[in-house]
Structure 1
Amino acid sequence: MTRELVIYCDESAKKGVHFSNFYGGALVGGENIDFVRQTLNDKKTDLNLHGEVKWVKITENYRDKYIELMNAFFDLIDAGSVKVRIMFTQNLREPVGLTADQLENEYFLLYYQFVKHAFGLQHCNFDGQPVSIRVYFDRLPDTKEKVAQFKSYICGLEKNPYFRRAQIIVKSENIADVVSHEHVVLQCLDVILGSMNFRLNDLHKIKPEGQRIRGKRTRAKEEVFKEISRRIRSIYPNFNIGANTGTVEASDHWTHPYRHWLFIPSNHRVRTDMSKHKK
């Protein structure tokens, strides 16, 4: 019998002050997908969050509601019903030797690496049965031709030797770009992804022009980030949001409930005009 894994993918912040190219994914087993959706939608209803949940929509009035929703999401992560992965690059490490084609297609090339490696899918097969992968991308912002080509590369992953050994199936009909308004898991992922960009790029320090203190919206977002950070650190004490999550076994890339991946280009230079931005 074929087992199904559903992966929701989102991206944010093409270029930040310190960190850029944020990608996020939430993986749910097919046997849990209805339960996860129902749990999160019920929580949204209880909180009177009837519209789409997004990081950019957080205000002082909605702060506590977002915190409650994120706690519900992390309860699912703690229970093993959802796995979350966040990937980003650091501006300190600048890629060199890229071709014009690589520069033009950087967005999709990084997205491909994220899908291929972030969840350690080659370790997902524990019972020897085929595993079907379904991927939902938040609306991909490019031409139909480029999106179609990207999807074909994602489908081609099933030909990868490691994926074949794990009996992973990736069919074209199971790859789609969707509207996040219709997918509550994507909405929760957007909040986590936005919170990491917010903190790593020092957006929590911004003050309105001419003001001595930060705005209410910024302070509200910081409180949501702090709760997300607290939940992550309940899984991994002393978790560093700006670095790779450590591993003991290669299979940790699959088994861990939550991980960060600082993507470092194999060919890069360290910019001497930038100091390391530690978190």
Structure 2
Amino acid sequence: MKFEIYCDESGLEALSNKEAHAYTGIGGIWIPADQRVALKEGLGAIKAKYNIHGELKWQKVSPAYLSMYKEIVDFFFNAGYIRFRVILVEAEKVDHIRFNSADAELGFYKFYYQLLQHWIFDFNEYVVFADLKQNRNKGRLKELEKALDNSNYTSDITQVQGLPSHESLGIQLADILTGMVTAKFNKEYKPEAAKAQLIQYLEEKYLSREIAPTAKWEEKFNVFKINLQGGW
């Protein structure tokens, strides 16, 4: 079966500046490739309802558009073909000198690998679309593709491609969900703010609990807080 994965990140600066945030989040949505049109039409209809022509983004959540973003959360949870996974990296415990030759960019893509690797299953084909960014090493995405392909002998990672977020509703959905989870862990919003209300809406209507790390077999809304301390 063919799958597409759309990825984005939140709080990336914490990987090179530990004072910026407590956590960096890297998240992605997984869909069967034949559901791409359904995803595009579903999110497009919500944008059209609210006369939105620009990007959907976590940073754009505001009182004026809170109802729209609640509908986007509804769309995600009601669309059985969409799955979401986010990896949370505790910035204080990242040691780029020891593990990444003092290269924060390399460390970022190692965490990207951890996001993707554990949801690649045998006998499938995957295409990964990452939010386009200017990397110091222009070959990072190709290296990630090769690492994933070499680790999955019975699956095929056909492409890992950078894509501008304004061209992809999939990346925009990943941005919103990743931003929500990362903001929850970073506690960087006021309780009365629209962002806080959106997080509370998701928690109360769909999770019946606060956003927190989930069991690894959770398929719809998977939150993985990576353990960087080692041990058992």
TM-score tier (shorter): 0.7 to 0.9
Structure 1 residue 226 corresponds to structure 2 residue 195: no
Contact 2:58 2:176 in 1 (8 A): yes
Does the 8 A contact of 2:100 with 2:107 survive in 1? Answer: no
For residues 100 and 183 of structure 2, the distance between their equivalents in structure 1, rounded to whole angstroms, comes to 30
Map Cα deviations across residues 95-153 of structure 1 (whole Å, 9 max, x no partner): 48714525432112211222212x2x23xx4xxxx42110000013313xx24234233
Once superposed, what is the RMSD of the aligned Cα atoms?
Answer: 2.5
2:67 is the alignment partner of 1:67:
no
User: In structure 2, what is the equivalent of residue 112 of structure 1?
Assistant: 113
Q: Which residue of 1 aligns with 2:5?
A: 7
Change in CA separation of 1:232 and 1:89 when aligned onto 2, cut-off 3 Å = farther
| SS across alignment from 1:48 | coil
Partner Cα separation in structure 2 for residue 102 and residue 38 of structure 1: 43
Can you give the 5+ residue segments of structure 2 that lack an aligned partner in the other structure? none
**Matches of 2:83 and 2:100 in 1, distance apart?**
35
Letter in 2 for 1:8: Y
Q: Deviations over 1:168-214 (max 9, x none)?
A: 1122xx22100111111211221111122222212123xxxxxxxx7
Distance (Å, rounded) in 2 between the aligned partners of 1:18 and 1:51: 27
Give the counterpart of 1:178 among 141, 146, 163.
163
Alignment correspondent of 1:208: none
Cα distance change, pair 68–95 in 1 and its aligned pair in 2 (3 A): same
Q: What's the CA shift for 1:93?
A: 4.3
Q: Is residue 144–residue 160 contact of structure 2 (8 Å, CA) maintained in 1?
A: no
Q: Residues 22-37 of structure 1: matches in 2 within 5 Å?
A: 22-37=25-40
Please name the residue that 1:158 is paired with: 149
**Residue 90 (structure 1) shift:** 2.6
For structure 1, which runs of at least 5 residues remain unmatched after alignment? 206-213, 269-279
| 1:69 CA drift (Å) | 2.0
Moved over 6 A (4+): none
Q: Give the AA of the match of 2:9.
A: E
Aligned position for 2:87: 87
Q: How many residues align?
A: 225
1:257-272, aligned counterparts within 5 Å? Answer: 257-267=220-230
Q: State the partner residue of 1:56.
A: 59
Larger radius of gyration: 1
Residue identity matched to 1:154:
E
Per-residue deviation, 1:38: 1.3
User: How high is the TM-score relative to the length of structure 2?
Assistant: 0.85
Give the whole-Å Cα distance in 2 for the aligned partners of 1:92 and 1:148: 27
Over 3 Å counting, the alpha-carbon distance change for 1:200 and 1:62 in structure 2 is same
What is the TM-score when the length of structure 1 is the normalising length?
Answer: 0.72
